[in-house]
């Protein structure tokens, strides 16, 4: 009977710790998102927040278990069983969190690649528009004009040679 009570209380304590850790993580992520400038900084700050939340949760669980042991006079064997059960749950949650993190990171990388292309196109179009509005030719236009000037130079040289031949002949 006591073992079931201990397990129920441990589950409640775990839920409380999870909720507290989630609140702390949300606050830290909001602060990290506002303060961080690059993706690397955001990931670093999020990882740091996660470590803090896990450490806090572990300390809270240990504190609550010590309190339960003291208050209910539970034997160490029962407490060890509950701790093993909590440890295995924590391990499962850790694995889930890692999979979720990897999936989110993959989607973030994919999105960044797409956004990079979109931003590159937008910047290119903006630069082209700015050059056109300032009446500054683009590299392509300068190349085209240079080619046309060379063609005209060749034609002029041809006309000069014909004029020299006519004058001699």
Residue-level pLDDT, tens digit, the chain, 169 residues: 455 564 555 555 555 555 655 666 666 556 545 544 577 777 778 877 887 888 888 888 778 877 877 777 777 777 778 778 887 888 888 888 888 888 888 888 899 899 999 999 999 999 888 888 888 888 888 999 999 999 999 999 999 999 888 888 6
DSSP class of 137: -
Q: Kindly give, in sequence order, each residue whose CB lies less than 8 Å from that of residue 52, ignoring residues fewer than 6 positions away.
A: 24, 28
Q: Where do the domains of the chain lie?
A: 2-133, 141-169
Q: What are phi and psi of 75, to 5 degrees?
A: -75, 155
Whether the model pTM is above 0.85: no
Answer whether 43's CB lies under 8 Å from 29's CB. Answer: no
Using the structure block, give the residue that is written with the tokens 């300032």.
134
């Amino acid at each position: 009977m006591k073992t079931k009570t201990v397990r129920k209380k441990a589950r409640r304590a775990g839920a409380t710790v999870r909720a507290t850790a989630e609140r702390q993580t949300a606050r830290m992520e909001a602060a990290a998102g506002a303060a961080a400038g690059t993706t690397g900084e955001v990931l670093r700050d999020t990882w740091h927040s996660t470590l803090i939340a896990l450490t806090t949760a572990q300390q809270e669980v240990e504190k609550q278990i010590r309190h339960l042991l003291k208050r209910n006079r539970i034997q160490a064997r029962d407490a060890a069983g509950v701790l093993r059960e909590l440890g295995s749950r924590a391990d499962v949650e850790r694995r889930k969190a890692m999979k979720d993190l990897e999936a989110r990171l993959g989607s973030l990388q994919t999105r960044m690649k797409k956004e990079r292309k979109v931003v590159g196109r937008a910047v290119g179009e903006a630069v082209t528009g700015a050059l056109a509005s300032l009446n500054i030719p683009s590299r392509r236009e300068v190349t085209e004009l240079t080619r046309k000037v060379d063609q005209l130079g060749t034609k002029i040289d041809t006309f000069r040679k014909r004029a020299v031949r006519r004058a001699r002949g």
